[in-house]
Amino acid sequence: MTLRGFVKKATGQDIYLCQACNDCDIGTREDMDIPLSSLVQLILLNDEEALQCRTLWSDSALEASRGACKRGLDLRAVMLALREESQRKAGG
Ligand code: SF4
């Protein structure tokens, strides 16, 4: 299954609806390596780097992801699902 397919199955969120408007871009905080909007783009590209970036584990990114998408994508649910998938793949 593709990463995008996994996200849809796990959260019901279709990242394909993302318009790349970057409204969810909260900037890069200390505990992030890429902006939240870039994490979304990695999912769109089915790039598994999304499971390894520090931003996925950033508390500030998770907090900011709540309601961050102006087009109604639940990015918080997406992040939580990706965290679980990352841990599953790491065998943890
Ligand atoms: S705000 Fe929503 S539609 Fe815009 S780039 Fe972020 S995820 Fe995509």
- Ligand 1 centroid to 32 CA: how many Å? 18
How many angstroms separate the CA atoms of 21 and 36, rounded?
12
How many angstroms separate the CA atoms of 79 and 68, rounded?
12
Residue 92's pLDDT band, with cuts at 50, 70 and 90, is: low
**Is the CB of 9 within 6 Å of ligand 1?**
no
Range of the domain at 12: 3-89
Ligand 1 atom 6: the closest Cα is on which residue?
24
Total number of domains in the chain: 1
Residue 88: the pLDDT is: 93
Task: Give the model confidence (pLDDT) of 33-88 as tens digits.
Answer: 999 999 999 999 999 999 999 999 999 999 999 999 989 999 999 999 999 999 99
Coil/strand/helix, residue 11: helix
Q: Give Cα 68 to chain centroid, integer Å.
A: 11
Ligand 1 atom 2: the closest Cα is on which residue?
69
Task: Give the model confidence (pLDDT) of 3-33 as tens digits.
Answer: 999 999 999 999 999 999 999 987 788 999 9
How many angstroms separate the CA atoms of 81 and 78, rounded?
5
What does pTM read for this prediction? 0.94
- Ligand 1 centroid to 91 CA: how many Å? 30
